Amino acid sequence: YSFTVVAERMGLKLIANTMVVEPFLYPIAQWVLVWQDRHPTLLANPTGSLPLGMIVSTLLLFAVGWVIARGAAYQKFLFKTQGHQQKRILFGLVKQESILSKK
């Protein structure tokens, strides 16, 4: 899914960001919310409890954002490797096609 790094010759910083920083950076906010029950002073909540719905919705929001970001990279990979011959349908719902410029 990191086709951009290889094909477009991106540098070491992008590789380090994609492979090392991002997987550990995004879950930090969820860790704070999930572990608040054990450390109630983290968010200054006097009860020290966080509704389960908030935890689940936050984790779900992260998962949806991750799928969208990786899906965009995967579409770019398919288009650059298969071009206009590609007849795949995205998740069975949307036919992928490119728009030609008028230049």
Domain count, the chain: 1
pLDDT of residue 27: 75
Mean pLDDT of the chain: 69
Residue 101 lies in a domain: no
Can you tell me the mean pLDDT for 16-34?
Answer: 72
**Token match 């951009």: residue?**
4
pLDDT of residue 10: 66
Per the structure, the complete domain to which residue 54 belongs is given by: 3-95
Q: Determine contact, residues 37/45, Cβ cutoff 8 Å.
A: no
pLDDT of residue 88: 59
The C-alpha atoms of residue 66 and residue 26 are separated, in whole angstroms, by 9
What percent of the chain has pLDDT above 70?
Answer: 49
pLDDT of residue 52: 74
- DSSP assignment of the chain: --HHHHHTT--HHHHHIIIIIHHHHTHHHHHHHHGGGT-TTTTT-TT----HHHHHHHHHHHHHHHHHHHHHHHHHHHHHHHGGG---EETTTEE--------
Count the neighbouring beta carbons within 10 Å of the beta carbon of residue 66.
13
Residue 37 lies in a domain: yes
Q: For residue range 28-42, what is the model confidence (pLDDT) as tens digits?
A: 776 766 666 666 555
What is the pTM (predicted TM-score) of this model?
Answer: 0.44
Q: Assign 49 a pLDDT band (cuts: 50, 70, 90).
A: low
Residue 71 lies in a domain: yes
**Token match 């579409």: residue?**
75
Residue 49 lies in a domain: yes
Can you tell me the mean pLDDT for 48-69?
Answer: 78
